Amino acid sequence: MFTVGFLILVGRMSVFYFKSKSRNWAELWPFGLSATAFAAAGACAGGIIGTIMTWARNGVGKGGDYALEKGTGATHVQISRPAEFGTLSPFGAVIMLALIVVFVVLYKSAKKKPKRELSWGAPCGLTLGPFLGAVTLTPLINWIGHVSIEQTFFS
């Protein structure tokens, strides 16, 4: 799983650095938003979104293991425990749902190039989320939910 996400990230950054004439960081926001939204969605403990994200992550992980084994001859890494996201608080889950809504609206209204960026960010975030999301993204989203929703409306 990590292999797929890492290769997508390296590929996107390589295209940005070597092919982009302007190297304008604003070109990466659709990719970043998509990766963030799907990394956050993968932190769902259950429900429809959590179940679908787990199925998708497992499928992509099997594809990455197959590519690693057949493409390089290396064996896939055996881990002693699975990577964990951490848990979204109820208010963090609201922020995650807002990110998914923004992703869907942007995807539906995007032209060809931003749509491609959104499409590549989704599997990148989904597969790198368990490794990076628990340390950075899940606590950040929970904090944003706490500050923007819980303290504002429920305190």
Give 82-119 pLDDT, tens digit per residue. Answer: 556 678 899 999 999 999 999 999 999 999 989 999 99
- pLDDT number for residue 82: 55
Percent of the chain at pLDDT exceeding 90 = 46
pLDDT at 84: 61
pLDDT of residue 31: 95
Residue-wise pLDDT for 49-79, tens only, equals: 988 988 998 888 888 888 888 888 888 766 5
- Take residue 61 and report the two structure tokens written for it: 């992980």
The DSSP element (H or E) to which 62 belongs, if any, is: helix 47-72
Q: Return the percent helix, strand and coil in the chain, to nearest 5.
A: 80, 0, 20
Ranges of each domain in the chain: 2-153
Can you say whether the dihedral through the CA atoms of 107, 30, 40, 76 is positive or negative?
Answer: positive
